[in-house]
Amino acid sequence: MSIKKTGNWGDATRMINNIKPDIQSANEIALKQIGLKGEGYVVKIIQSQPAEWQALSKSYKRYKSLHGYSSLMLKRTGDMFMRITSLADKKQVFIGLKREAINRDGESLANIAAIMEFGSIKRNIPARPFLMPAHKQLVAEGLDKIFKEQYMLEIKRKYHTT
């Protein structure tokens, strides 16, 4: 009795031999997509000015008005808001502000973001979280779906499967 091979064994062998780099490539693309989605969530949270955030003090509102700054929370000059970014590699994604990003006054935007996220007792600034809520939204979505979809797209692109 003999066994007859059917189908495209060449592509099947190539898929098996290349599965690790194919997964790495798909993961990198998926992480970049997650980063962009996360950036969008951060922006939406800041724009929505959540009701849970403590309102600005009257004196700070007055200060912002006198200096021509935005009346919105976390958007004094717009420097921080406009520099929200994401960076992805093959294993992880970062969403936030780069350590070297500075505002027009020369202050670290990453430090300002940390103060806004967690608050500062010393400076009497309440926490107005925007990064962790964005992270929670991403996780609640089920990120594994993005990875699976991207892997299937990579397989279809590379091996022309239907």
pLDDT digits (tens, 9 = 90+) for 112-146: 999 999 999 999 999 999 999 999 999 998 888 88
What is the pLDDT averaged over residues 82-99? 93
Q: How far apart are CA 4 and CA 27, in angstroms?
A: 36
What residue ranges in 61-116 does DSSP mark as E strands? 85-88, 93-96
pLDDT score recorded for residue 10: 79
pLDDT score recorded for residue 80: 93
pTM of the model: 0.82
For residue 45, CA distances in Å to 75, 100, 117, 123, 156 come to 12, 23, 12, 23, 36
pLDDT score recorded for residue 162: 56
